[in-house]
Structure 1
Amino acid sequence: MQQGIHPEYRPVVFRDKAGGLSFLTGSTASGDRTVEWADGRAYPVVDVETSSASHPFYTGRARLTDTEGRVALYRRRYGG
């Protein structure tokens, strides 16, 4: 691995603004602010719009398309 060209890899807190979930992980992302974690240390924090706590697919609030209505529309339009 070539020295001096890679970004610094360090622990960072990612915080979901909509879902209220925060998790500590390693990343090269940097944040302007810091937050104190449960271990008493301060880590840079990166706010994200969506995570598994707020994404509709993971929370079960995803919209499903009405496939029965589409089939009925097709049969009405083209006979069948």
Structure 2
Amino acid sequence: MKKSKTNKKERFVAVRRNSDGTLKEFKSNSGKVYDYEMALEAVEAGKIENAIPFTGRDGARHIRGMNDGDESTNLTNLKEF
């Protein structure tokens, strides 16, 4: 039985920052641009393979890169677009 290609996850490959340096937009490998809220929804739905959601000390939901020991998967290390 063949696997459906609709299950293929996207990856974040670039980011855009606010003036204070916080991440505000994400660009996926398919070229789609997500604002932070859309990105968080996609991450929480399991549609992004290199990011996970977490609840911060402020009680709000946030996005972080996979904690796999690879610095290239750290979202703050992604190139700017």
Tell which structure's C-alpha radius of gyration is larger. 1
Please, what TM-score do these two structures have when normalized by structure 1? Answer: 0.26
TM-score computed with the length of structure 2 as normaliser: 0.26
